[in-house]
Chain A
Amino acid sequence: DAKTTQPPSMDCAEGRAANLPCNHSTISGNEYVYWYRQIHSQGPQYIIHGLKNNETNEMASLIITEDRKSSTLILPHATLRDTAVYYCIVRAPGDGGYNKLIFGAGTRLAVHP
């Protein structure tokens, strides 16, 4: 079973920041938080991951609370192309080849004009 809880759906206006929450209250001390998204009829796409510090890349920012029990994915200026299902996944560290991804139902983000 997935170790994360996400709202089933969210809306966001184009050009505004989209803040997607994720609860992972049972996360272990060495587990990372990963975010993927899946645009309709395509394969999931990696977005970002982090352990305890906030992370930023060209796609998004990841804010992890100090107790690591929850996190927020931030898309700073959402566009229509960001409409997708967003998955928050916790994963043990180590060899990237071994760890399978356990997906939950994700959050369906709808960006509207």
Chain B
Amino acid sequence: DAGVTQSPTHLIKTRGQQVTLRCSPKSGHDTVSWYQQALGQGPQFIFQYYEEEERQRGNFPDRFSGHQFPNYSSELNVNALLLGDSALYLCASSLTGHTNTEAFFGQGTRLTVV
């Protein structure tokens, strides 16, 4: 049973560029959440996708956008990259409609903006 997979594992981008990160949820899961983790800090919630729509959003600017596909996989897009966007980006999948189920995380994508 495949867990949550993210790609790429590492990425280096230049300030001002755009980046797309990808996530495939755990088999059977329909909900994908994205988190940003700066060095030395806990993960911060960016947004969550369910039924191909953004359902919840954290305190992140509109430069951060996403998409969910019919197969439940998801993309995180960041435009106009800033040096401060350098972080580990984590994807978590879960199952809507089930009480108190835990979220499963991928290994993350390490984004470095130079």
Binding site for B on A (CB under 8 A): 2, 32, 34, 41-46, 49, 85, 87, 93-98, 100-106
Contacts and interface: CB of A to CB of B under 8 A. Distances in A.
B98 A95 contact: yes
Given A2-B42, A96-B96, A101-B103, A44 B58 contact: no
A-side interface mostly: loop
A100 B97 contact: no
Given A32-B100, A100-B58, A101-B45, A44 B94 contact: no
A84 to B, nearest CB: 13
B31 A97 contact: yes
Nearest first, the 9 A-B pairs at minimum CB distance are A97-B96, A103-B42, A43-B105, A96-B101, A46-B102, A97-B31, A100-B45, A44-B105, A103-B43
Contact of A96 (B41, B94, B105, B108): B94
Contacts of B50: 97
Size class of the contact patch on chain B: 20 to 34
B4 A43 contact: yes
A106 B56 contact: no
